[in-house]
């Protein structure tokens, strides 16, 4: 799916703050597993700096131009997971989602309320993390990035809920699609 960025929002899509923006091919690319040759500490340090500067709650390495499977979740408690895998999932949680790579676009996605992630810690130890509610949503959103999936084309996106809005005080604009396809209907989880 491809979306049309309204002219009034185009200034938000300059590559400022270190976040790769929509239409960069890395956002549609399957990320590679992290290996022992990768400088994980440098990647994580850069991700933390960019996430803080962007005032975000989650970030995946492709969003900073690095095609590696690393996610960072910072919602009260910080979680860094290398080569994350969803081991278990249940429940339903629908919320408005946005994305640092697609500034101004918002919409509802039907996600799992609870997930158990497996992966590695920055020190290389195997970890398992239980996440619920928004932390689970952020983890699923970031793992989608690792798989080259943007939130508006997730199979559980609620098609008629997407809109452009710069901030809470501005009037929302309807989203325009560049092709004739529509988003799939939301799926049961």
Q: Which residues are catalytic?
A: 142
CA distances from 31 to 4, 48, 61, 186, 189 (A): 25, 19, 9, 26, 25
Please, which residues bridge with residue 129 across strands?
A: 117
What is d(CA 33, CA 184) in angstroms, rounded to the nearest whole number?
29
Which of 141, 180, 124, 129 minimizes the C-alpha distance to 56? 141
Nearest partner of 98 among 136, 137, 62, judged by Cα? 137
DSSP string, 97-150: E--TTSTTEEEEEEE-SEEEEEEE-TTS-EEEEEEETHHHHHHHHHHHHHTT--
């Amino acid at each position: 799916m491809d979306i049309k960025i309204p002219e009034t929002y185009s200034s938000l899509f300059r590559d400022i703050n270190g976040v790769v923006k929509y239409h960069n091919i890395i956002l549609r690319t399957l990320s590679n597993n992290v290996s022992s040759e990768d400088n994980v500490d440098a990647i994580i340090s850069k991700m933390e700096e960019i996430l803080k500067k962007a005032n975000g709650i989650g970030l995946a390495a492709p969003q900073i131009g690095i095609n590696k499977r690393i996610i960072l979740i910072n919602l009260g408690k910080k979680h860094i997971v290398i080569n994350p895998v969803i081991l278990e999932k249940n429940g339903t949680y629908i919320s408005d989602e946005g994305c640092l790579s697609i500034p101004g676009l918002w919409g509802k996605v039907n996600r799992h309320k609870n997930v158990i992630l497996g992966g590695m810690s920055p020190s290389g130890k195997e970890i398992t993390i239980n996440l619920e509610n928004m932390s689970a949503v952020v983890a699923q959103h970031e793992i989608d990035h690792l798989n080259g999936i943007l939130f508006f084309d997730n199979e559980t996106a609620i098609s008629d809920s997407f809109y452009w809005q710069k901030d809470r005080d501005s009037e929302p604009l309807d989203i325009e699609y560049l092709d004739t396809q529509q988003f799939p209907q939301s799926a049961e989880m």
